[in-house]
Amino acid sequence: MSNRIYLSSPHMGGTEQKYVQEAFDTNWIAPLGPNVSGFEQAIETYLGAGNHVAALSSGTAAIHLALILLGVSEGDEVLCQTFTFSASANPIVYQGATPVFIDSESTTWNICPIHLEAAIKDRIAQGTKPKAIIAVHLYGMPYQVEAIHKISETYGIPIIEDSAEALGSTYKGTACGTFGKIGILSFNGNKIITTSGGGALVTNDAKVKERAIYLATQARDEAPHYQHSTIGYNYRLSNICAGIGRGQIEVLDDHIVLRREMHAFYKNMFSKSAGITVFEAPSTDYFSNHWLSCITLDAETVDFSTEDIRNALAEDEIESRPLWKPMHLQPVFKDAPYYGNKIAENLFHNGLCLPSGSNLSASEKQRIASKLKRFV
């Protein structure tokens, strides 16, 4: 059987082992140390001046801490993009709050400003002002930054900017992850760079970073003994994993180029295919890292489905996956309020994520092309 081609697999740059070996050589086998500090500094440099980064065990942990830092607690409501992975929404429930899901708009596939404002007005009319907005740069595509942040400012509701899939993406030249009150990054195994498992919280306030690290390290008070005045968490990134991250961020820009080349590969392949659209930026203001390249089908034009394509690829051990199932359609969130139409739902039913790794070889691309050619 042929070697499996994954949707998005880890791609090492070569220097990761050096940093990991340093951790072993110096016995920094702990959730702190020179690699953690060095990785944070490298991300801060990459994102630009004025940003402060706390390296954590996962992007989910970062969202959970962001909600805590913004005062979200039991009985509150949090507005959340429905077209996202469940890790964006689950921490809302950790806090005993209620997610209120918002549909997407069709240009960026991200949170729709019209439905967002309608939801805010309606929730306030019902007596509850939402505590936060979780907006997502899905598949690496920036959301409509100006429209969404104008609404945030108008109603005084802070944004948690979920950039788990968007490290290296920009809007009008500014890095994704730096627009919100708090930004979120993820470094798990399928992301554009990886620390095996890991994430980060981004803020422009050094005190917020300090508080996040305090909460992420079991909220230990200053004392010679173990003393705690608030509930803490074991959310700090390992010094070993951070060593992998230090090597990975050195090749981040190279990985972005290669991901965007994969997007161009699909654009070229489907350029003359009626009824198949490759998802792309709506204008030059939006620079996507194209973490995943995606297509949608026009069911009235083509005589095949995304399942037909997925199964054809699977015949040769090539992974593809339906676009994310919206949160308001998930059984676990069936009772959550929802505002919108069927943009996200239709994307789920008519869309597919294609193999997008930065480490795909020419022969692997040929395998993909040979399976897709029957649909071109």
346 pLDDT more than 60: yes
Output the pLDDT for position 204. Answer: 97
CB 340 within 8 A of CB 112: yes
Q: Does 150 share its domain with 297?
A: no
Give the CATH number, domain containing residue 28.
Answer: 3.40.640.10
259 and 246 in one domain?
no
Residue 3 within any structural domain of the chain = no
286-287 and 321-322 beta bridge pairing = unpaired
Q: What total of structural domains would you count in the chain?
A: 2
Residue 7 counted as domain residue: no
Q: Are residues 301 and 238 in the same domain?
A: no
Residue that terminates a domain, selected from 214, 229, 251: 251
Q: Please report the sign of the dihedral spanned by the C-alpha atoms of residue 148, residue 104, residue 354, residue 59.
A: positive
The two beta strands, 170-171 and 286-287, are antiparallel
Residues 242, 171 within the same domain: yes
Q: Read off the pTM.
A: 0.97
Q: What is the pLDDT of residues 265-283, one digit of tens each?
A: 999 999 999 999 999 999 9
Structure tokens, 40: 């944070």
- Shared domain check, 285 and 190: no
| Same-domain pairing of 217 and 264 | no
Q: Are residues 202 and 337 in the same domain?
A: no
Do 287 and 343 fall into the same domain?
Answer: yes
The string of pLDDT tens digits covering residues 292-330 is 999 999 999 999 999 999 999 999 999 999 999 999 999
**Tokens linked to 263:** 């997007």
Asked which of 251, 268, 292 is the last residue of a domain, the reply is 251
pLDDT of residue 285: 98
Chain mean pLDDT for the chain: 97
Determine the pLDDT at residue 85.
Answer: 97
Q: Give residue 246's pLDDT.
A: 98
CATH classification of the domain holding 300: 3.90.1150.10
Task: Tell me the angle at which helices 362-372 and 306-314 cross, rounded to the nearest 10 degrees.
Answer: 130
The beta strand positions in 152-198, using DSSP E, are: 159-162, 170-171, 174-175, 182-186
Residue 77's pLDDT is: 98
- pLDDT bin (cut points 50, 70, 90) of residue 1 is very low
Which tens digits make up the pLDDT trace of 49-93?
Answer: 999 999 999 999 999 999 999 999 999 999 999 999 999 999 999
Q: Is residue 2 part of a domain?
A: no
The answer as to whether 325 is a domain residue is yes
Domain presence at residue 28: yes
C-alpha 363/C-alpha 249 separation (Å) is: 27
**Could you tell me if residue 349 is left (phi over 0), alpha (psi between -120 and 50 degrees) or otherwise beta?**
alpha
Does the pLDDT at position 2 exceed 90?
A: no
Residue 127 in any domain: the answer is yes
Q: How confident is the model at residue 28 (pLDDT cuts 50, 70, 90)?
A: very high
- pLDDT by residue (tens digit) across 99-156? 999 999 999 999 999 999 999 999 999 999 999 999 999 999 999 999 999 999 999 9
Q: Give the range of the structural domain holding residue 337, as residue numbers without chain letter.
A: 253-375
Residues 176 and 272 in one domain: no
End-of-domain residue from the set 191, 224, 251: 251
- 34-47 vs 16-26: helix crossing angle, rounded to 10: 150
In a domain, 6, yes or no: no
Same domain, 195 and 266: no
Neighbours of 331 (CB within 10 A): 5
Pair (57, 187) in one structural domain:
yes
Does an H or E element contain 286, and which?
strand 286-287
Whose tokens are 């409501």? That residue is 77
Do both 100 and 203 map to the same domain?
A: yes
CA–CA separation, 215 vs 218, rounded Å? Answer: 6
10, part of any domain:
no
